[in-house]
A and B are shown apart, each in its own frame.
Chain A
Amino acid sequence: EVQLVESGGGLVKPGGSLRLPCAASGFTFSNAWMNWVRQAPGKGLEWVGHIKSKTHGGTTEYAAPVKGRFTISRDDSKNTLYLQMSSLKTEDTAVYYCTAGRWFDPWGQGTLVTVSS
């Protein structure tokens, strides 16, 4: 079964940091371009960024609101994707999903990050 499982969400103060892992199974993780997408409460979907497969250079790209604050990385030996978030702002409060591919399939269940004092 193809599966993505995010973890690591929680409550963090503005200016704080958090790292979200996403464990993948059921597909060849090392070949997949991996993405993070977020959804603020009651709002739509927003692409956060992606990391290409190593065969495509393993490079990362980010949306403007998170560029310079968030870092996406991957450990293909552990089939795990990461999102390192720093200098968090209240507007980063959202459910964070990891998802695979150029079109996004599959998706994890998401993990809620709340940035509040």
Chain B
Amino acid sequence: DIVMTQSPDSLAVSLGERATINCKSSQSVLYSSNNENYLAWYQQKPGQPPKVLFYWASTRKSGVPDRFSGSGSGTDFTLTISSLQAEDVAVYYCQQYYSTPYTFGQGTKLEIK
């Protein structure tokens, strides 16, 4: 199984500041035949289901604000919020869909400082 490890587990950032969440996979999720990283990012707010922010590691889902960006390749990925807004308070998860069992990181709880 591919193990996904996020860091940090929790993060407190001031409004307007940058937030960075890292995700590392135990093996590469880059599929050589199409040069795509099989990595998605999700945001989950309290009492709500998760919603996808990025797929293929850096393709932003329509409607996601452009202050969110996804980057990385192979085994190391990053979700960045360039200027934190109050509505960004949530738990963020990375997930690999390279191979089954599909696996998630443990989650990173993002709060306002």
B90-111 CB contacts (< 8 Å) to partner A: 93, 95, 97, 100-107
Majority SS of interface residues in chain A? loop
Instruction: State in angstroms the CA–CA spacing of A35 and B103 once bound together.
Output: 13
Query: Which range holds the interface residue count of chain A?
Result: 10 to 19
- Known contacts A44-B106, A45-B50; is A104 also within 8 Å of B95 by CB? yes
Residue numbers in A under 8 Å from B102 (CB-CB): 35, 47, 50
A44–B104 contact, CB under 8 A? yes
In the complex, per-residue mask of A82-101: 1 if CB is within 8 Å of any chain B CB, else 0: 00000000000000010000
B42 within 8 A of A: yes
A44–B107 contact, CB under 8 A? yes
Residue numbers in B under 8 Å from A108 (CB-CB): 49
Partner of B49, one of A35, A50, A102, A110: A110
Q: How far is the CB of B40 from chain A (nearest CB, A)?
A: 4
Instruction: State in angstroms the CA–CA spacing of A44 and B106 once bound together.
Output: 6
A53 within 8 A of B: no
Partner of B50, one of A63, A64, A102, A104: A104
B101–A47 contact, CB under 8 A? yes
Tell me which of A35, A104, A106, A109 has the highest count of chain B C-beta atoms within 10 A of its own C-beta. A104
A107–B101 contact, CB under 8 A? no
A107–B51 contact, CB under 8 A? yes
B95–A45 contact, CB under 8 A? yes
Instruction: State in angstroms the CA–CA spacing of A46 and B50 once bound together.
Output: 12
The 7 closest A-B pairs by CB, nearest first: A103-B40, A107-B49, A103-B55, A105-B52, A47-B102, A45-B104, A63-B101
Q: Could you show 28 A-B contacts with beta carbons less than 8 Å apart?
A: A35-B102, A44-B93, A44-B104, A44-B106, A45-B93, A45-B95, A46-B104, A47-B103, A50-B102, A61-B100, A61-B101, A64-B101, A97-B50, A102-B38, A103-B40, A103-B52, A103-B95, A103-B97, A104-B40, A104-B42, A104-B50, A104-B95, A105-B51, A105-B52, A105-B55, A106-B51, A107-B50, A110-B49
